[in-house]
Amino acid sequence: MKTDIPSPLALQYERDGFVTVPNLLGPAECDKLKIEARRVLDEHADPGSSVYLHVAVHSPIFKRLSEDPRLVDILRQILPKGVMFLSDKIVYKAAEQTSPTPWHVDYFYWLQTRPKLSIWIPLDDVTAENGTLTVIPGSHKKTWPMEKNESGYFSARIRDADWNADDIVSCDLKCGGAIFFSDRLVHGSTTNSAGSDRYVIISTYHAPAADEPFDLKFPARKVLIAS
Ligand SMILES: O=C(O)CCC(=O)C(=O)O
């Protein structure tokens, strides 16, 4: 039954800027998705790439995942005005690729576009030792100033002094768990010092609306629940 009362999960998302949903996918599914992720990287990504965008364009398996009812049932609670898939990307940390992902705010990837949320799903069990996601709860409510980073891109001006060390949540998760997070949330990921590969799929959604010019770069976009 459709109701206008936000679900506990939607209230938690509004308060913290993210929600964690364990065991959304099973381990056998994650193993299949990892094989598919490897295929997509080998066939479509530049050699040695650790990030590949537009996965659903090249993979029916990931396209199915982007519209899987288990994901959409949660998305509909957080996005009551409808759900549209925008794009997905593989983020791969090889055993020898140990670097952490620095703190950032995704909104700066798509400045002046409508609000979005992403689902971060590890296809391996993740802990602080092998590159799990780290988040600052509530940081989505702050307006972060903008600066140009070393690569010439605009990003949020974020400093460790902006929060206390014990505000940081390190999201230990079994493979197939999911973190739904706002594009305003400060997040990063830890160093991968475990000596094994770490595969993640990140899918991004927003409420349906007429295409913004930015959207036209994403050929797999699709309305999943009309407004
Ligand atoms: O999985 C990770 O390392 C984090 C990736 C990330 O936050 C991003 O690509 O925006």
Which pLDDT score is estimated for 2?
A: 60
Asked if residue 218 belongs to a domain, the reply is no
The backbone torsions φ and ψ at residue 162, rounded to the nearest 5 degrees and listed phi first, read: -75, -10
Gap between the Cα atoms of 159 and 164, Å rounded: 11
* 14 pLDDT more than 70: yes
Q: Ligand 1, atom 9: nearest CA belongs to which residue?
A: 91
Position 105 confidence tier, pLDDT thresholds 50, 70, 90:
very high
Asked if residue 166 belongs to a domain, the reply is yes
The domain in which residue 128 lies consists of 17-209
Asked if residue 216 belongs to a domain, the reply is no
Position 227 confidence tier, pLDDT thresholds 50, 70, 90:
confident
Mutate to test the pocket of ligand 1, among 121, 187, 199, 201 (most ligand atoms within 8 A of CB): 187
Compute the average pLDDT of residues 30-59: 96
Compute the average pLDDT of residues 188-214: 96
CATH number at residue 171: 2.60.120.620
Which pLDDT score is estimated for 3?
A: 65
Asked if residue 219 belongs to a domain, the reply is no
Asked if residue 98 belongs to a domain, the reply is yes
Task: Quote the pTM value.
Answer: 0.96
Q: How many whole angstroms from 91 Cα to the centroid of ligand 1?
A: 7
Asked if residue 3 belongs to a domain, the reply is no
* 1 pLDDT more than 90: no
Number of domains comprising the chain: 1
Asked if residue 217 belongs to a domain, the reply is no
What is the rounded average pLDDT for all residues in the chain? 95
Centroid of chain to Cα 76 = 16
Position 10 confidence tier, pLDDT thresholds 50, 70, 90:
very high
Nearest to 112 by CA among 181, 10, 215, 222: 215
Gap between the Cα atoms of 6 and 144, Å rounded: 27
Distances, alpha carbon 128 to alpha carbons 51, 88, 164, 196, in Å: 20, 24, 18, 13
124 Cβ closer than 6 Å to some ligand 1 atom: no
Asked if residue 119 belongs to a domain, the reply is yes
Gap between the Cα atoms of 226 and 208, Å rounded: 7
Between residues 96 and 73, which one has the greater pLDDT? 73
Which pLDDT score is estimated for 4?
A: 79
Between residues 211 and 97, which one has the greater pLDDT? 211
